Amino acid sequence: MPPLTDRPTRDVPEEIGRAPTCLVGRKHRLEWARYRRQLSRSSDYPEAARGKWRREYRRVDRGPARQGIEREFEELAEVWERETAIESFPHRKAMHPAYQQIIAIGPPVLPLVLRRLERRPGHWFWALRVLARYDAAAGVDNMVDARAAWLDWGRRHGYLSR
Amino acid sequence: MARLGQASRVLVPVTPKPAGQPELEAALIREVVRGLQSAPFIVESESTSDYNCIAWAMGDCTRPWSPSISGGYYWPSDLPIGIPAVEVVEELFRRAGYSAAESPQLLPGIEKVAIYADEWREVRHAARQLDDGSWVSKMGDLADIRHDELEPVEGPIFGKVVMIMQRPRRT
């Protein structure tokens, strides 16, 4: 298999979308596209996704790119919380550009969202559901129990320390 | 019958936590709701995301009522999820015993709610009338407040009052 850097750009389908801004450089973008493509073809998506996301997170966690993600996430989260605090419904909060940008960062932001939710309550369930492609709070009708369900999920899957 | 079981939960009397810093809470609200910069209101709770305006209009401060795609919010399973249209929220209040009212004027023994919506008839807010004629509103994730008139809460964020509903006041 040729190294990733030698693969032509046309291998990346348009529908995959842009890589997070923290993943700079052609190599990172191609890696990002490749693993998302593999995930989308997997017959056992949730399990494959969890393993792959964790590996991706650890890889990014080691370098300066990780600090870029954290900084970007915290800035976006502050803007989002401040500007949507008055909104009464979660779909309006989720449509805020900062929230959409957080989701667009992709799987590496998942542990950061969980850590923020661990620090204080918030309407992160929509983003978590999209990022994890799973709803740990399905059927839960209140914020306290939904938060507990997601934090428990995060600990069980290695995104949060126990 | 499941619906009756869920509805009975809102009758459990639970009181919101009082505001630790009411002046700060009031300043946060005045910053975003311009009509309240000149109209008087009283902060009655701390900021919390545990419930929202629809919940508080229903008398429930234990969970947010919202037609959300994700868990963490209460919504009757047989009502549409997604965007809360006026007709859907009207049906929600009808199930709680409310019917259409002509005006927000205080009537003895009657409890009224005001539904706010934008020009696309998406519900943005709800307020409940107390027995002294004032209204209580949960302001998003900020505090809940008591205000004398419905108009100061109107504006680009919450839209305008599009419907008043009423039911016999429960003790």
For an interface test with A, which of B24, B49, B70 has the most A Cβ atoms less than 10 Å from its Cβ?
A: B70
Confidence of residue A68 (pLDDT cuts 50, 70, 90): confident
Q: How much is the average pLDDT of A103-123?
A: 96
Nearest to A141 among B47, B54, B74 (CB): B74
How far apart are alpha carbons A2 and A4 in whole angstroms?
Answer: 6
Check if B26 contacts A (Cβ < 8 Å): no
More confident residue, B158 or A38: B158
ipTM of the complex: 0.87
Contact B64, B141 (CB under 8 A): no
pLDDT surpassing 50 at residue B43: yes
CB contact under 8 Å between B71 and A143, yes or no, is no
A119 touching chain B per CB within 8 A: no
pLDDT, tens digit, 9 for 90 and up, residues B91-129: 999 999 999 999 999 999 999 999 999 999 999 999 999
Closest residue of chain A to B60, computed from CA coordinates: A142
**A-chain residue closest to B77, CA distance:** A139
Residue of A nearest to B64 (CA): A142
